[in-house]
Amino acid sequence: MRFSLRAVVVALAASISREEQYAQALKEQEELERQEKEQRALELRRETSTKDAAKVIAKSRAEAMKRSSARSTTTTILRSNAQLLRARAAQSTVVPDAYEDLYTLRDHYDDMYSDAVRKDREGIMRAGGYRVEEAWDRALRCAVAGLDLLPLSELSPSPGRTDIVMASA
């Protein structure tokens, strides 16, 4: 796939613009939070100067408890959602492989692409749980699945073309 230089420049400019807008929105949000905090502190000082300190402290603690309760409710909801997702994932059924009985995976293949991965003792090339056996299995499944497709005999390639159109099963 080829991209024109102009398209790349336009995409980069749009990306930079989005980042700048995000940074500006973040600064505005932080400034708003700072102002709200200053306003709460100012109101607390006013109340302290005209009211009994014990009442002001009790009110402040009650408001803090409300905020804490709201946070714990949110955390509880998030935890229950996570548990639900885990339970659903555990209940999901495994779809049987239609090609399972058509091949047997061996312990070793002469595969120049996976040699480096197999020889990697530090595990750098196997990040994210990559396993060579899974790549071999996937390649064999694709190859075996392709065996069921026959060339379409009624379609003849146009002059100069040597590709073959495959039928879908």
pLDDT at 149: 66
> Does residue 141 carry a pLDDT above 90?
no
Q: Name the more confident of 102 and 18.
A: 18
What is the distance of C-alpha 39 from the center of its chain?
39
**What is the Rg, in whole angstroms, of the alpha carbon atoms belonging to the chain?**
32
Residue 139 in this model has a pLDDT that exceeds 60: yes
Across 50-65, average pLDDT: 79
What is d(CA 144, CA 111) in angstroms, rounded to the nearest whole number? 18
Residue 4 has pLDDT above 80, yes or no: no
Measured between alpha carbons, how far apart are the two ends of the chain, in Å? 30
- pLDDT, position 119: 81
Domain range list for the chain: 1-50, 54-92, 100-146
- Asked if residue 66 lies in contact with residue 112, where contact means CB atoms within 8 angstroms, the answer is no
Chain-centroid distance of CA 161 in Å reads 42
Most confident stretch, 81-95, 120-134, 144-158 = 120-134
Give the pLDDT confidence of 23-51 residue by residue, as tens digits.
Answer: 899 999 999 999 999 998 888 887 767 66
Asked if 132 and 141 count as a contact pair (C-beta separation under 8 A), the reply is no
pTM: 0.30
- Contacts of 125 by beta carbon, 8 Å cutoff, 6+ apart: 116, 117
Q: Do residues 126 and 120 make contact, with C-beta atoms less than 8 angstroms apart? A: yes
